[in-house]
Amino acid sequence: MGQLPNMPWSIHSIMLFFALGDVLLVSTEPVRTAMIQIVKTSVVEGEKVEFRCVISAVHGEQAENKGRNWFHLYKNREKISSQPEPGGRGAVTFTKQDITKNDAGNYTCMYGNENPGDVKNISHGSSVYLNVQELSYQLTLQLDKHNPMEGMDVSFKCMIPAELRDAAGEESFFHLYKDGSRVDSQAAPKGVPGVAFDFKNVKRSDTGSYTCVYGKEKLVNSANSKRSRPVYLHVTEYMTATSQQKLTGEMTTPNTSIKTQHTDGRGKCE
C-alpha cells in the first residue's frame, strides 16, 4: 500500500483553520468570556437581582471599536439578555425584577458581537448559581369577577388564613399591588382578619396581576412581608350593540332577511 503524500499542513493546522472560520461560534479564547458578579446568590421570590458582567483589563486593552462589542447574559447556557458596552467602560449590569423560582439556575456572561449565534459549546468562564427560595404565601386574595367588562364593579378580598392569624403580628395594614406597584392600602379593622378592596367602573387599563401584602403602613420591602399569591384581573371591552354588529358583520343581514320573509309571507318564503 502506497504512503500518503506529505500534506502541507498538520491536523492541528486543519483544526485551527476551521476554528478561525467563525471565531464567535467555536473560539474558546478568554477574550470571549466575562466575569460575572452578584451580591446575593440566594434570594426569595419577588426580590430584585443584579448581575454585574466585567471584562478583564487585558481584554479591555486589546479591544478595538468598542461600539460593536456587547455583553450577553446566559442562564443554563441559554441567552436571556444583551446590552452594548457603554462608553468602553468594560462592564454592564443586568437587572431582573420580581425573581421567581423559574429564575434559579447557573448564570454566565459573554462578551462579543451583538449576535453571537450558538455558543452553547464555548467555555463561558466564571459562573454563579442563583438559588431562589419559594415565597411562603401567608395571605388569601379572592376576586369576585376575573373577567369583567368595562364599567362593572369588582372586589378583591384579602384575608389572613385562620391557621396563621396568631402569628400575623401587629403590622395591621393591608396593601394591594398591581404588577408590582401599590394601588391601594387599608388599615385592618379590629377583630377582623381581612379587608375588601372595591373598584367601581373598571377600565381596560385595570387589567393586570394583583397581590395583597400585609405589613406596616409604610413598606420598605414588600418581598419580605406577608403576601398572597397573585390573582389576574382581565377587563374586557364593553360590547355595545354597534360593537356586536361589527363583530358579526354581514351575518346579521341574512338572519334579518329570513325573519322578514317569514313575517311578510305569513310563514312562507317568497
DSSP secondary structure string, 178-192?
ETTEEEEEEEPPTT-
Nearest to 34 by CA among 85, 99, 68: 85
Q: pLDDT per residue over 45-104, tens digit each?
A: 878 899 999 987 544 444 454 446 889 999 998 899 999 988 777 899 999 987 888 899
Fold of 11-133: Immunoglobulin-like (2.60.40)
- Does the fold of domain 140-233 match that of domain 11-133? yes
Answer yes or no: pTM beyond 0.85. no
Q: Domain map of the chain by residue range?
A: 11-133, 140-233
CA distance 95 to 114: 19
Give the model's confidence band at 22: pLDDT under 50 very low, under 70 low, under 90 confident, else very high.
very low
The CATH class for the domain spanning 140-233 reads mainly beta
Residue of 257 and 249 predicted with greater confidence: 249
Q: pLDDT per residue over 192-236, tens digit each?
A: 889 999 999 999 999 999 999 988 888 766 555 788 888 999 999
